[in-house]
Amino acid sequence: MSLSVQATAYAAAACRAAETRSARPRLVDPLAALFTPDGVAAPVASLADAGREEVVGRTVLIDTMLVETLARRPGAAVVNLGAGYCTRPYRLELPCREVVEADDPALLALKEQVLRGQTPRCPVRRVGLDVRDPTALTALLASAGDGGAVVVVTEGLLVYLASEQVRTLAGVLAGVSGVVGWLADIVGADSARQMAAVAQRVPGGLALHGLDSLDPLERPGWRVAAYRALPVARPRYGPGPAAASRTVVDGVLSLEKAEP
């Protein structure tokens, strides 16, 4: 995983910190500012500025959908892949056995350091992992499940994976019997193309991948149980995509196994 991809974790934290400081915040994430105490580098700030509606929108949707999912599956473990500087276990009361956060080991080491002394509301474990490594991912999911149910969260992750990598990830998640649900934000191919111009401001650039269809999720064994669109127009990215009934619209999916 490139350093520029890891930098997007700062941008997401900066978005939530800015929202927390706003007059009428849609979410309150007091710890987000700890990750960007002196602000962020200019290119990352520009990414955060352009992406704030999207990041805050998806975080709020996933908060709600995770609470709803855990109400149906109390005691499940939550595995957050590409967790970055997400502070959900500190912000929300989650009735889960544990939250396992997976991301780059160096990023997680910094996160541990920054959050030292803060008390999460449920047990939290952090595991350095590349989600493109099926063996490591399967082992992580098995250890999180410990025989019980696992709900996976991917927030702001799939857009950094090519569609074949999304398909492989979906297959690994579908193949672990304990995994009962998956909350994922998705970005359509048109949106990803529009975001790419902004992403080029980050040193090293960022390769962004939108989905042309839900096939990489559905074919390996998932079905969409619920879908909520992001309340985002993209004025800063230029004109929106032409409307078409099969266009993938940016939003958050609640996925369940097609054949449990």
Ligand X SMILES: C[S@@+](CC[C@H](N)C(=O)[O-])C[C@H]1O[C@@H](n2cnc3c(N)ncnc32)[C@H](O)[C@@H]1O
The verdict on 5 binding ligand X (CB under 6 A) reads yes
Q: Which of 86, 124, 151, 255 binds ligand X (CB under 6 A)?
A: 86
The verdict on 6 binding ligand X (CB under 6 A) reads yes
CB of 101 to ligand X, least distance (A): 9
Q: Which of 130, 146, 164, 215 binds ligand X (CB under 6 A)?
A: 130
The verdict on 164 binding ligand X (CB under 6 A) reads no
Stretch that binds ligand X, among 65-73, 101-109, 116-124, 231-239 (CB under 6 A): 101-109
Rounded to 5 degrees, what are φ and ψ at 195?
A: -75, -25
Beta carbon nearer to ligand X, 86 or 179: 86
Q: Which of 4, 12, 88, 206 binds ligand X (CB under 6 A)?
A: 12
Q: Which of 103, 190, 194, 222 binds ligand X (CB under 6 A)?
A: 103
The verdict on 250 binding ligand X (CB under 6 A) reads no
Question: What number of chain residues touch ligand X (CB under 6 A)?
Answer: 22
What does each C-alpha distance from 186 to 37, 54, 90, 98, 257 come to in angstroms? 30, 11, 25, 25, 18
Q: What's the token pair of residue 32?
A: 């987000």
Q: Which of 215, 207, 201, 221 is nearest to 248 (CA)?
A: 215
The verdict on 160 binding ligand X (CB under 6 A) reads yes
Are 237 and 194 contacting, i.e. CB atoms less than 8 angstroms apart?
yes
Q: Which of 19, 29, 53, 155 binds ligand X (CB under 6 A)?
A: 155
Q: Max CA-CA distance within the chain?
A: 50
Q: Among all chains, which residue has been given the structure tokens 């474990």?
A: 125
The verdict on 65 binding ligand X (CB under 6 A) reads no
CB of 84 to ligand X, least distance (A): 2
- One-letter amino acid for residue 210 of the chain: G
Are 77 and 96 contacting, i.e. CB atoms less than 8 angstroms apart?
yes
Beta carbon nearer to ligand X, 131 or 149: 131
The verdict on 9 binding ligand X (CB under 6 A) reads yes
114 Cβ contact partners less than 8 Å away, ≥ 6 residues apart: 34, 35, 85
Beta strands in 187-248 (DSSP E): 222-229
The verdict on 89 binding ligand X (CB under 6 A) reads no
Q: How far apart are CA 27 and CA 223, in angstroms?
A: 29
Q: Among all chains, which residue has been given the structure tokens 């127009």?
A: 233
Are 210 and 189 contacting, i.e. CB atoms less than 8 angstroms apart?
yes
Q: Which of 141, 157, 172, 208 binds ligand X (CB under 6 A)?
A: 157
Beta carbon nearer to ligand X, 162 or 258: 162
**Binding site residues, ligand X, CB under 6 A:** 1, 5-6, 8-9, 12, 82-86, 103-104, 107, 129-132, 155-157, 160
